[in-house]
Chains A and B, each alone.
Chain A
Amino acid sequence: MNDMHAAAELPGLDTPNRATLGRLPVHGGRLGYAEEGPDGRLRARVRIPLDEMVWDPAILVMPHGGDLELELVNDDQNTHCALLPSNGDHQFLWLPNHSRGTASLNLDGPGCYWFSSIIGNDEGQGLIAAIVVMGETPPEARLDRPAQPRP
Chain B
Amino acid sequence: MAAGYVDAGHAVRQSSLSGVVGKAPPVVRDVTYDRIRQARSEPQNWLTYYGAYDGQRYSPLDQIDTETVRRLTPAWVFQAGASGVYTGPSTYAFEAAPLVVDGVMYVSGWDGWVWALDGRTGQELWRYKHAIPSDTGLCCGNVNRGVAVANGKVFVVTLNAHVLALDAETGECVWDMTYGDVRAGESGTVAPLVVKDLVIVGSSGGEFGVRGHLDAFEIDTGRHAWRTYTVPKPGEPGSDTWPADGEAWARGGGNCWVTGTFDPELNLMYWGTGNPSPDFDGAVREGDNLFTDSLIAVDPDNGEIRWHYQYNPHDVWDYDSNMEHILFDSDGRKLLAHFDKNGYFFVLDRTNGELVRVTPFVDRITWGEIDANGKVTAKVYPDNEGEPVRFWPGPGGAKEWTHAAYSPRTQLFYVPVQDVGAEITLRHREFKEGIPYWGAGVVVDSKDMGGSVSAFDPSTGEEVWRWSNDVPMCASVLATGGDLVFAGEPTGEFNAFDARTGELLWQFQTGSGHHSSPTTYSIDGRQYIAVPVGWGSWVEGFLPGMFGAPHGDALFVFALPEE
Contacts and interface: CB of A to CB of B under 8 A. Distances in A.
B121 interface: no
Given A90-B14, A151-B435, A72 B134 contact: no
A101 B9 contact: yes
A34 B5 CA distance: 23
B160 interface: yes
Nearest to A81: B8
B127 interface: yes
Contacts of A138: 178
B85 A128 contact: yes
Contacts of A108: 131, 160, 162, 176, 178
Nearest to A96: B6
Interface in B148-206: 160-162, 172-173, 176-184, 186
A113 B177 CA distance: 20
B226 interface: no
A91 interface: yes
B161 A141 contact: yes
Nearest to B172: A88
Contacts of B210: 143
B556 to A, nearest CB: 25
B161 A92 contact: no
B433 interface: yes
B433 to A, nearest CB: 4
With most chain B CB atoms within 10 A of its CB, the pick from A82, A88, A142, A144 is A88
B5 A112 contact: no
Interface stretch (A5-13, A35-43, A53-61, A115-123): A115-123
A150 B133 contact: no
A109 B132 CA distance: 9
B434 interface: yes
B430 to A, nearest CB: 8
A24 interface: no
Contact of B11 (A93, A111, A136, A137): A93
B251 interface: yes
Interface in B1-51: 1-2, 4-15, 17
Interface string B119-160: 000000001111111111000000000000000000000001
Given A93-B8, A149-B431, A113 B247 contact: no
Nearest to A70: B11
With most chain B CB atoms within 10 A of its CB, the pick from A97, A109, A128 is A109
A111 B182 contact: yes
Interface residues of B, number: 60
Interface string B79-92: 00001111000000
B229 interface: yes
A95 B8 CA distance: 6
Contacts of A146: 247, 250
A105 B10 CA distance: 11
B526 interface: no
Contacts of A73: 2, 5
Interface residues of A, number: 56
B160 A111 contact: yes
A87 B178 contact: no
A72 B8 CA distance: 9
A138 B181 CA distance: 8
B83 A118 contact: yes
B364 interface: no
Contact of B160 (A106, A109, A118): A109
B14 A83 contact: yes
B229 A144 contact: yes
A95 B251 CA distance: 48
Interface string A47-90: 00000000000000000000000001110000000111111111
Nearest to B83: A118
Contacts of A90: 13-14, 83-84, 129
A88 B13 contact: yes
A88 to B, nearest CB: 6
A16 interface: no
With most chain A CB atoms within 10 A of its CB, the pick from B8, B129, B134, B209 is B8
B176 A151 contact: no
Given A111-B133, A123-B85, A92 B17 contact: yes
A137 B13 contact: no
B432 interface: yes
B211 interface: yes
A91 B128 CA distance: 12
B6 A82 contact: no
A141 B209 CA distance: 16
A133 B128 CA distance: 21
B183 A137 contact: yes
B8 A89 contact: no
Given A91-B12, A123-B85, A145-B211, A111 B224 contact: no
A143 to B, nearest CB: 5
B181 A104 contact: no
Q: Give 9 nearest A-B pairs by CB, closest first.
A: A111-B133, A101-B8, A103-B11, A145-B250, A114-B85, A99-B6, A85-B131, A91-B11, A90-B14
11 contacts: A88-B173, A91-B13, A92-B13, A92-B14, A108-B160, A113-B133, A116-B84, A123-B85, A137-B178, A143-B181, A145-B250
Given A85-B131, A100-B8, A107-B131, 13 more contacts: A74-B8, A83-B84, A93-B11, A94-B8, A95-B8, A104-B10, A108-B176, A113-B133, A114-B85, A137-B183, A142-B184, A143-B181, A151-B435
